[in-house]
Amino acid sequence: MPRSQKIALGVMAAFFLLAPLVVYPVFLMKAMCFALFACAFNLLIGFGGLLSFGHAMFLGTAGYGAAHAAKVWGFPPEFAILFGTAAAALLGLVTGLLAIRRQGIYFAMITLALAQMMYFFYLQAAFTHGEDGIQAVPRGMLFGFIDLANVWAMYSTVFAIFMAGFLLIYRVIHSPFGQVLKAIRENEQRAISLGYDVDRYKLLAYLLSATLAGVAGATKTLVFQLASLTDAHWSMSGEVVLMTLLGGLGTVFGPVAGALIIISLENYLAQLGAWVTIVQGVIFVICVLTFRRGVIGEIGNWLRKPL
Amino acid sequence: MPDDVILETKGLTKEFKGFVAVQNVSLSVRRGSIHALIGPNGAGKTTCFNLLSHFLEPTRGQILYNGREITGLSPAGIARMGLVRSFQISAVFPHLTVLDNVRIALQRKRGGSFDFWRAGGVLDELNAKARELIESVGLAELESAAAVELPYGRKRALEIATTLALDPEMMLLDEPTAGMAQQDVERISALIKKAAVSRTVLMVEHNLSVVEHLSDRITVLQRGEILAEGDYKTVSANPEVIQAYLGAGHG
């Protein structure tokens, strides 16, 4: 890891460790879940060059899976998260096999269509309780002895999951697999001519991204003790695109910053009601017009260091 | 074995809607030779090339490589069999460094490219070989530059280094000197000559002096069909070939 990224990692960890002293912890937990979600999304678009417009299906599926497992089947939290994640991974495998056959806008449209199908399934299925969602999901005892009803226990758990997920993504990006993925993003035809079966690499990237998005969704469900349609809605798929672009596509820390900014806006501008969407839209336009690399991307470019 | 054929096509035909781009082309390329595919614009050279590298599927006909039919295989699959192509527009990975460009190719031979859990440092074992290849095409001092920053001729040199990293049995080169300044043309020609010592090269090329200088055997295409075949002397003396090239500004 270059020094610039080590420093950024330290700053990020320190922020999430110290911020709950002054900021509402539930808000920070939400931010970390979305940050992980955006990082997972960024793995696919920023390093694999694949724009998914249906990532909410993984967030939503893992959320419902974890909520159902914890509430109805009485799973302990670690297994509820694992179950939700596995459900997202399975969905990733199935939808990935379909979607990666196409590129560019077609890929985006297929993922959107599949995500809409999942949304309508969750709207109709009995176990999701439709508009009400699965409420009062018990957080339970982690490993049988850590009571997650305690906000600090929950906070530490989310922090640990977020950091582990973030570092795993970092590892993937810099692995031999990550190198091939970048090559495919840079020049797919050339990667093929060198003998790489690019579809298999794309599928693995898609699967990893879906799985990690699932971790974020399942964790978020335990934080809010709620799985709802919001997480599976197409606007959530759009929001993660916004977070990633705003923070910096293809940067390591950008999605985290983007998620923090968007979640803060939603939180602190909540009294503006529907105007939040308009503010977000304005920010998006400004971002695309004036700092296309995103916040972190621009800072990295200015420092001439990878971030 | 001068008549040992490495790549052979039988009745290769490609039809686009209402238009036959390549018609009944039967080609054989001898092992160890440099074989050029030439012809006026629109003669079907690039289509033919894309059929051989499997980036297009033929309407009819067969392709045999080392005596084995490879007609329906995937482009990545034939690359792994040792038949590696280049592109008309220089094919580099623009935002990767020169070193990383070559390493991507070496990595494919090394295997383990699905290892997403392993640190990138395991690939450092490829650096020595990569530097050797980079040096051999004269890019030693540029190894940490991003490929996108290289001038055009250097990009082509990098592309050749990347292709050579696969140690292919046969190289398919699509207009290797297209759009190049004269000094670059000489440099790239020399590189091709050097690379061809232990392998077979089939190239599509416009620059007839390069063709004359490099190739052992030439196939002339016109309107999708083979017009003539032979060494440069035979082909250039063929009245039909002269006719086909008249007005195109070539001798």
- Mutual angle of helices A294-303 and A254-268, in 10-degree steps: 130
On average, the pLDDT of chain B sits at: 88
Kindly list the domain boundaries of chain A, sorted by start residue. Answer: 3-19+28-303
- Mutual angle of helices B98-110 and B152-165, in 10-degree steps: 20
Mean pLDDT of B145-163: 89
In 3D space, the residue among A236, A264, A253 whose CA is nearest the CA of residue A306 turns out to be A253
A-contacting residues of B 141-200, CB under 8 Å?
Answer: 162, 166
pLDDT digits (tens, 9 = 90+) for B196-227: 888 999 999 888 888 988 999 999 998 888 98
Instruction: Report the pLDDT value the prediction gives residue B92, as an integer from 0 to 100.
Output: 92
DSSP secondary structure code for residue B62 in this structure = E
- Cα separation, B177 vs B182, in Å, equals 9
Mean pLDDT of B129-144: 90
- Nearest CB neighbour to A194, from listed B94, B96, B166: B166
In 3D space, the residue among A24, A17, A29 whose CA is nearest the CA of residue A224 turns out to be A29
pLDDT digits (tens, 9 = 90+) for B41-74: 888 888 998 999 888 999 999 999 998 999 989 9
Q: Give the C-alpha distances (Å, rounded to integers) separating B43 from A33, A306, B201, B207.
A: 58, 48, 20, 15
Q: What residues in B contact A300, CB-CB < 8 Å? A: none
- Cα separation, A90 vs B195, in Å, equals 47
pLDDT digits (tens, 9 = 90+) for A125-160: 989 988 888 988 899 888 988 888 889 999 999 999
- The answer to whether A76 and A145 are in contact (CB under 8 A) is no
Instruction: Report the pLDDT value the prediction gives residue A41, as an integer from 0 to 100.
Output: 97
How distant is the Cα of B93 from the closest Cα of chain A, in angstroms? 5
B-contacting residues of A 170-229, CB under 8 Å?
Answer: 171-172, 174-180, 182-183, 186-187, 189-198, 200-201, 204, 208
Instruction: Report the pLDDT value the prediction gives residue B1, as an integer from 0 to 100.
Output: 42
Interchain pair B100, A177: CB under 8 A: no
Interchain pair B116, A204: CB under 8 A: yes
pLDDT digits (tens, 9 = 90+) for B85-110: 888 776 899 999 999 999 999 999 88
Mean pLDDT of B127-136: 92
Q: What residues in A contact B77, CB-CB < 8 Å? A: 195, 197
Confidence of residue B246 (pLDDT cuts 50, 70, 90): low
Rounded to 5°, the CA angle A104-A107-A108 comes to 90
DSSP secondary structure code for residue B146 in this structure = B
Instruction: Report the pLDDT value the prediction gives residue B3, as an integer from 0 to 100.
Output: 58
Interchain pair B92, A187: CB under 8 A: yes
Per-residue pLDDT of chain A in tens (307 residues, 90 and over written 9): 888 999 999 999 999 999 999 999 999 999 999 999 999 999 999 998 999 999 999 999 999 999 999 999 999 999 999 999 999 999 999 999 999 988 889 999 999 999 999 999 999 998 998 888 898 889 988 898 888 888 999 999 999 999 999 999 999 999 999 999 999 999 999 999 999 999 999 999 999 999 999 999 999 999 999 999 999 999 999 999 999 999 999 899 999 999 999 999 888 887 887 788 888 888 888 888 888 898 899 898 888 888 8
Q: Considering only the top CATH level, what class is A3-19+28-303? A: mainly alpha
Q: What residues in A contact B107, CB-CB < 8 Å? A: 176, 179-180
- Cα separation, B30 vs A86, in Å, equals 54
More confident residue, A213 or B185: A213
Instruction: Report the pLDDT value the prediction gives residue B247, as an integer from 0 to 100.
Output: 53
Instruction: Report the pLDDT value the prediction gives residue B250, as an integer from 0 to 100.
Output: 47
- Count the neighbouring beta carbons within 10 Å of the beta carbon of residue A15: 14
Q: Considering only the top CATH level, what class is B5-245? A: alpha beta
Interchain pair A183, B76: CB under 8 A: no
Q: What residues in A contact B116, CB-CB < 8 Å? A: 171-172, 175, 177-178, 204, 208
- Count the neighbouring beta carbons within 10 Å of the beta carbon of residue B208: 16
Q: What residues in A contact B158, CB-CB < 8 Å? A: none
Q: Which residue is listed with tokens 């001439």?
A: A304
A164 vs B: CB within 8 A:
no
